[in-house]
Amino acid sequence: MSDDETLRRGLADRIAAGGQLRSARWRQAVIDTPRHEFLRGGYFRRVDGDGPTGWEPVMAEDPAWLPAAYTDDSLVTQIAGTVAPGDIQGRIFRTPTSSSTMPSLVVRMLEDLQVKDGMRVLEIGTGTGYSTALLSHRLGDDLVTSVEVDEDVSLRARAALGSAGHMPRLLVGDGLAGDPNGGPYDRIVATCGVLTIPPAWLAQTRPGGQILATVCGWMYSSELTRLNVDDDGTAHGRLLSGQVSFMLARPHLPPSLGVLPDLDDGEERETDLGPETLDDWTTRFVAQLAAPHAQLVRISLDGGEARPVLIDVDTGSWASHSRDGERWIVRQGGPDRLWDRIEEHVSRWRRDGSPDLDLFRITVTPHTQTITWPN
């Protein structure tokens, strides 16, 4: 057995032990697919320090590179929309924009996709092409199409897929439009997050087909959902468990904050709901439903502890908290009272017994997306 086959088998064993790899066909795909080929151009290693998060390149010559390709980690392959590992020496302090997703999550999603032989699959977010390769292995190249928004990323994925022996159909474009000329598909799977399921995905999934995607928000809580598409072009499903998060589809990224609001403005009142509420993943998801255009930023006022501040750039509404002894005071400005809405929503969810996210239902039509919890 070659060294990298040992590494691939080790990865498959670990993902199986974690419960994400559940079937023989996907196991064989993991064993036969060389993840390192999808990382030939190197990856970025995170460097933690006191300041902003930095990233430094790890190239294929580095002894750490091959073992890293077979860890169950997401490996960042592009920063700030253009920078690949081979482009820099030293460190870069910007946001990741493309990666090879952690293998256990890729495999979990492929298992959750419930594919059968002969099904046509559209993937949104080709990235390195590793997940595209697993799909191609399982279904055959002819049945797999993958869309990537970034042309350079797509070109690198094409080369990597070729060296792994696959030639699926690769498109460059905004995956929120799906594949306008290629549907209908039996399955659509997205490896970038979305705020709302795009209407094009509903239209391009055949009735009875499924969409698997992560619904996110600008407070950075998110969850995977599996939707069944009906004859009338609407889709219904539920959230799955696991606190799944993905980088957002580029058109769904939040607008820049611009000039910050004057946090001394507005009106204040006492609230029972303190800002620590937003530390909890599920509560944050519920809050996000109430104020879907509010961005969560952490600001330290007067050099004190960083506190969450909510800002809706479109309307100019905002909310921030301060402490008065044992009490929380919320100050809100702009036309919308963001914290009033969140407080009402979170209180209702708590009165309903704080159901977990995997009990939430989601309904999508070409014009609306509704997420509800049982009561």
Binding site for ligand SAM (CB under 6 A): 97-101, 106, 124-125, 127-128, 130-131, 147-150, 153, 174-176, 191-192, 246-247, 249-251
Residue 152 CB, shortest distance to ligand SAM, in Å, is: 10
Q: What residues contact residue 201 under an 8 Å CB cut-off, 6+ apart?
A: 124, 178, 188, 211, 213
Q: What is the largest CA-CA distance in the chain?
A: 69
For residue 156, give the nearest of 108, 102, 225, 87 by alpha carbon: 87
Are residues 275 and 307 in contact, defined by beta-carbon separation less than 8 angstroms?
yes
Among residues 7 and 109, whose Cβ is nearest to ligand SAM?
109
Q: Which residue is nearest to ligand SAM (CB)?
A: 127
Q: Do 168 and 144 form a contact (C-beta atoms < 8 A)?
A: yes
**Least distance in Å: CB of 324 to ligand SAM?**
43
Q: Smallest distance, Å, CB 294 to ligand SAM? A: 22
If the CB atoms of residues 192 and 235 are measured against ligand SAM, the closer one turns out to be 192
Closer residue to ligand SAM in complex, CB, 131/317: 131
Q: Are 135 and 83 in contact (CB under 8 A)?
A: no
State whether residue 70 is helix, strand or coil: coil
What is the SS3 string spanning 285-312? Answer: HHHHHHCCCCEEEEEEHHHCCEEEEEEE
Smallest gap from residue 54 Cβ to ligand SAM (A)? 20
CB 293 within 8 A of CB 218: yes
Closest approach of ligand SAM to the CB of residue 234, in Å: 23
CB of 110: closest distance to ligand SAM in angstroms?
A: 10
Nearer to ligand SAM, 249 or 346 (CB): 249
Nearest residue (CB) to ligand SAM, 135 versus 229? 135
* Alpha-carbon dihedral 269, 274, 279, 284, rounded to 10 degrees: -50
- Token pair, residue 210, equals 């499924």
Closest to ligand SAM by CB, 203 or 359: 203
Considering beta carbons, is residue 31 or 329 the nearer one to ligand SAM? 31
The alpha carbon of residue 306 and the mean position of all alpha carbons in its chain are separated, in whole angstroms, by 25
Task: State how far the Cα of 129 lies from the Cα of 13, in Å rounded to an integer.
Answer: 22
Cβ-Cβ contacts under 8 Å for 5 (sequence gap 6 or more): 31
Nearer to ligand SAM, 46 or 348 (CB): 46
Q: Residue 33: what are its φ and ψ, rounded to 5°?
A: -105, 115
CA angle 179, 371, 220 (to 5 degrees): 80
Phi, psi of 201 (to 5 degrees): -70, -35
- The nearest distance, CB 56 to ligand SAM, in angstroms, is 20
Contact between residue 372 and residue 357 where contact means Cβ atoms under 8 Å apart: no
CB of 125 to ligand SAM, least distance (A): 3
**Min. distance of Cβ 64 from ligand SAM in angstroms?**
19
Q: Which residue lies nearer to ligand SAM by CB, 77 or 271?
A: 77
